[in-house]
Chain A
Amino acid sequence: MIYCPSCGTANKSGSKFCNQCGHNLTGVSKAACPACGAANPTENLFCDSCGAKLAPLVTKGSEERAEIKGLSLPTKPLDEEGQGPLDGEEMPAAQEEEASVPEDTAKEDAGLPEEGEAEEEMPEWLLRLRAASPASGEQPEESAPSETPSPEDWGEFPSEDLEEADVPEWLQQLEPAEPMPPQEEPSAPEVEEGEEALLSDVWAEEANRDQLAAEPAEPEAPAPAEEEPPALKPTEELPQQAEEAPGGIPALAQPPSDEEDLAAWLQAEGPVILEPDEGEEEEEDIVFEPRAGETEEAPDQGRLPSWIETLAPEGVLPEELGGEFVEEGRRTPEAMGLERAEIPSWLEGLRPGRPGEQMPEAEETVEESGVLQGVVGALRLVQDIDPLPSSQMRPMSEPVAATPAQANLFADLLSRPTSSVVKPRPVSAAPKRERGFAWLATLLLIAAVLLPFFATGLVPGGDTVAVPQPVSDLAERIRDLNETDVVLVSFDYDPGVSTELDWPAEVILEDLEARSVNLLVMGVTPTGPGLAARFDIPAGEALFLGYLPGQEMGLQRLASNLEGIFTVDFFSNAVSDAPFGVKSLNDVALVLTIAASQETVRWWMEQVGTQTGAPPIGAIVSAAIEPAVRPYYASGQIVGLVSGWVGAQAYEEAAGLPASEGEGGPAALEAQSLAHLAIAGLILLGNAVYWGKRLFGRRA
């Protein structure tokens, strides 16, 4: 099937010229998408790029598929292969499929409609189309070829110059359809020829039908029954048509009265934030969006689908279409023989407006390009979809009927004017009970820490600690040093943790001093050398090299070549090229880093430890980072590990040093013990309270 890029007529594959307009079809292998302009194979129903439908909205129904007897149709119906009529007078059979394409083919990505399903009955709109002359003078051919799609079974637009006399005989002979059972189908309107206004009605009906027709074929809902072809004033006609409209347009609403209204509601397409209706109040079981699942149910006879309920005016929400539905002179859809239709969920947003609403009249506008080129009042198509005038629009989120109390509250909240100045409530402090417990924890900790200072010997265990393996390893390593060895000690911690690390640092410096080794003292933090300078280190045995900036860059530089790094020491004295005979780190017997950060230890491992011939590295670390540094000890990258006060105490024992008071004084470890006990108790107490409340159901 090849679709003419000019007029959209379906032509048999292999045709060289369009049998409608005569456009040269050689080389036509692509159809342009009306939405994005992408080229698509001519057989496509939907654009490969954006998914827009390449075919026009068509009505559906398997059995009652109306023949598309549009204007300027080929002369004979297309057969199954899509053979088109040669003289343009006969309707191609394939075009009859247009009406049969269900709306949810968009979802199903349906292929071509079945061909050859000839429709005996025509939709009302089509009947009027047949007789109608084009509203404007523009031919479909005048539309930009690139923008005009060639959808399958695209009916011809009314030709501009199609006059009564030009209407094909077959078209003229077509009788108004008896499309539906009396209950559902409208009375077939008589078709009068030459009425342009019918075109607008036609398209309006078509749109509505597309929305309303359910998957299972329903009797085709013909166009609004029109006893007489109205004048070319869609705005005036439509209400009337709506009154008489057959099924499928239960909620034909008025189009906006003027361009501004039109623009307003168009802009408010979605999500539609609608002004609440002042006159109407409460009890509105209307939701603009259909509830999940509800749209799937087949509409019962006379029962409004949920989406309709969202749009119905207040007080006019019939369980069944009946007399209550009538407003302002409109007949109920049932009365008009219309049948409730079920539409797929994706089309929900295109539901027409509420019934009974007066639709503002639309201007008579002519589409100048695109798919609807030459069609008059095409916008009304859309107006019918969302026809509510802004003044009568409702909030999207009106309450649901099932919860009237909540609905009342919600509607009340929505209708309240908002205050632009809302003073936030001050953030309340933690609840009293919690603050009380925080104080309890603080006081308990202070008491636990201070008690041993005033009553020593009370705490069981005293200050006796077992010596962990990492501590004894370091003690052994230092024990093996001799007097000529040079040890590089790097103070890599900040004053903030000096309280904790000063004691282990002092203990190890004391042990090193006892070994009479030479020390090179430096630091990778700016405060390191200053912290080191507080220790009593005999001047002849130590050289305070000072600060090594650059963190890992400095350490890598140190590892590459010690020369030239420290030209002056911490006290601004010149430093020789080889202090204590050390020209590179390989000349150092042991490196000790006193660190409070796992990152610092990692730098030493990665930048210094990877060098060939690198010296062994020992670490004196804050207790907080010991678990994170343990893997380096386990892998042998660190030869010994002393952590915190407990480590200092253990080292004294391992190295056989006299017990020192350290930073914490004689009762430091006892205070530490009690504090740990207090915190363990707090943890268990907290969990006991928490689980007690949970298990026994008390409110927190």
Chain B
Amino acid sequence: MSEAIGIWISALLTVMVFSYLLGDNPLYRLAEHLFIGTAIGYAVLVAYYSLLRPKLILPLVQAPLDNWTLVVPLLLSGLLLGRLNRRWHRLGIVPLAFLLGVGVALTIGGALFGSLLPQILQTIVSINPAAEGWNVALSNLILVAGTLSALFYFYFTADSGTGLGRVKSGFVKAWRGIGKWFIMVTFGAIFANTVMARVSLLIGRLQFLIYELPKSLR
């Protein structure tokens, strides 16, 4: 029963959102605000039940002496919530600094060991046609060239120089041009895949209206 009502309500809300195709209208605005309200409420519930209640409130309430270290995050949380008040606004900078330090360290370590090193190491691929065959060797060469030239594009600029500087700038310009092409290839692939993803979403919602709704009528 509740499922049938739920499907009808879903269908109604779906149509309200699709009405945006005809232009911005009160039905769409209402649906949009409903969505934001429910999403925020749900996120608060999840944050409370998954984290704040079991990891902060209950330990401090049930066994404060065992969990005395939780006073620190409690205090920091209080300072953070103090940002709502203009008078205590500045005190909120301490927990923010704490979060910043943690985030920055994770970013550095993660980027270094999770992205930079593995990706650089894996760019070292064999381009030896004798070992890999011409197909693979050429493809690997393209992979390496693409990686290097795309990096060139982001990190180097060329200005006209004289003499040796001219040679250098010509070299950089050429590589940047090639890098731009490779980036365009990536963007083309991303565009096509994005189209595919969005079309899937549309097909799913239309399928819901076409299949699910009639099913619930039966």
Chain A residues with CB under 8 Å of chain B are 442, 445-446, 449-450, 453, 496-497, 499-500, 526-527, 529-530, 546-549, 552-553, 556, 567-568, 570, 572, 602-603, 605-607, 609-610, 622-628, 631, 634-637, 643-646, 663-665, 668, 671-672, 675-676, 679
> Which listed residue (B109, B114, B196) contacts A623, Cβ 8 A?
B196
User: Which of B76-84, B164-172, B197-205 lines the interface with chain A?
Assistant: B197-205
Q: How far is the CA of A679 from the CA of B196 in the complex (A)?
A: 10
- B105 nearest in chain A by CB position: A556
Asked whether B47 is an interface residue with its Cβ less than 8 Å from the other chain, the reply is yes
Q: How far is the CA of A568 from the CA of B210 in the complex (A)?
A: 40
Asked whether B163 is an interface residue with its Cβ less than 8 Å from the other chain, the reply is no
B197 pairs with A624, CB closer than 8 A: yes
A553 pairs with B106, CB closer than 8 A: yes
Q: How far is the CA of A646 from the CA of B196 in the complex (A)?
A: 9
Known: A606-B113, A664-B204. A567 touches B211 (CB 8 A): no
- By a CB distance below 8 angstroms, the chain A residues around B203 are 449, 499, 664, 668, 671-672, 675
B190 pairs with A663, CB closer than 8 A: no
> Which listed residue (A567, A610, A631, A644) contacts B109, Cβ 8 A?
A610
Task: Name the residue among A548, A602, A623 with the largest chain B CB count within 10 angstroms.
Answer: A623
- B113 nearest in chain A by CB position: A610
B197 pairs with A607, CB closer than 8 A: no
Asked whether B37 is an interface residue with its Cβ less than 8 Å from the other chain, the reply is no
- By a CB distance below 8 angstroms, the chain A residues around B195 are 676, 679
B114 pairs with A607, CB closer than 8 A: yes
Output the least CB separation between A644 and chain B (Å).
6
- By a CB distance below 8 angstroms, the chain B residues around A627 are 186, 189-190, 193
> Which listed residue (A445, A499, A605) contacts B201, Cβ 8 A?
A499
- By a CB distance below 8 angstroms, the chain A residues around B115 are 602, 605-606
Chain B residues with CB under 8 Å of chain A are 21, 39, 42-43, 46-47, 49-51, 54-55, 102-103, 106-107, 109-111, 113-115, 118-119, 121-122, 143, 186, 189-190, 193-207, 210-211
- A497 nearest in chain B by CB position: B201
- By a CB distance below 8 angstroms, the chain B residues around A568 are 49-50, 54
- A528 nearest in chain B by CB position: B46
A637 pairs with B197, CB closer than 8 A: no
> Which listed residue (A548, A605, A634, A672) contacts B114, Cβ 8 A?
A605
B200 pairs with A623, CB closer than 8 A: yes
- By a CB distance below 8 angstroms, the chain B residues around A449 are 199, 202-203, 206
Known: A567-B55, A607-B106. A453 touches B200 (CB 8 A): no
Known: A624-B193, A627-B190, A635-B119. A549 touches B47 (CB 8 A): yes
- By a CB distance below 8 angstroms, the chain A residues around B54 are 567-568
Known: A449-B199, A627-B186. A547 touches B50 (CB 8 A): yes
Output the least CB separation between A459 and chain B (Å).
13
> Which listed residue (B46, B106, B121, B202) contacts A526, Cβ 8 A?
B46
- By a CB distance below 8 angstroms, the chain B residues around A529 are 46, 50
Known: A526-B43, A623-B197. A549 touches B204 (CB 8 A): no
A sample of 27 inter-chain contacts (CB < 8 A) reads A449-B199, A449-B202, A453-B207, A499-B201, A526-B42, A526-B46, A526-B47, A527-B42, A547-B47, A549-B51, A556-B106, A568-B50, A602-B110, A605-B110, A605-B114, A605-B115, A606-B109, A607-B114, A610-B109, A623-B197, A627-B193, A644-B193, A644-B196, A644-B200, A663-B207, A675-B203, A676-B195
Output the least CB separation between B7 and chain A (Å).
14
- By a CB distance below 8 angstroms, the chain B residues around A643 are 193
- By a CB distance below 8 angstroms, the chain A residues around B102 are 553
